[in-house]
Amino acid sequence: MMHTTEMTAPVLTTAAKLLLEECVTPHEWNAVVRVSLKAGLLWRCHDCKENHYPIVDACSCGTQRPSHMPG
């Protein structure tokens, strides 16, 4: 079923968590993280290379979530 669900941060975060929960091996995890970063389901802090869910407004180092991501 196709819905025009708005891609809000909570929706994207839920999607990312569901995908990551399906990962069994570290290899799978890495692949899903890589794809999720490209798809905007996760964002990465360039300073500390830490991955964050879209609902996270800022990294622990203070770097803000990229402005292109929905709030």
Binding positions for Zn ion, rule: CB under 5 A:
45, 47-48, 59, 61, 63
Q: Are 23 and 29 in contact (CB under 8 A)?
A: yes
Which amino acid does the sequence have at 9? A
Q: Which is nearer to Zn ion, 13 or 63 (CB)?
A: 63
Which of 1, 61 has the CB closer to Zn ion?
Answer: 61
Residue 27 vs 68, nearer CB to Zn ion: 68
Please report how close the Cβ of residue 56 comes to Zn ion at its closest, in angstroms: 10
Q: For residue 20, give every residue at least 6 positions away whose Cβ sits within 8 Å of its Cβ, in sequence order, or none.
A: 29, 32, 33, 36
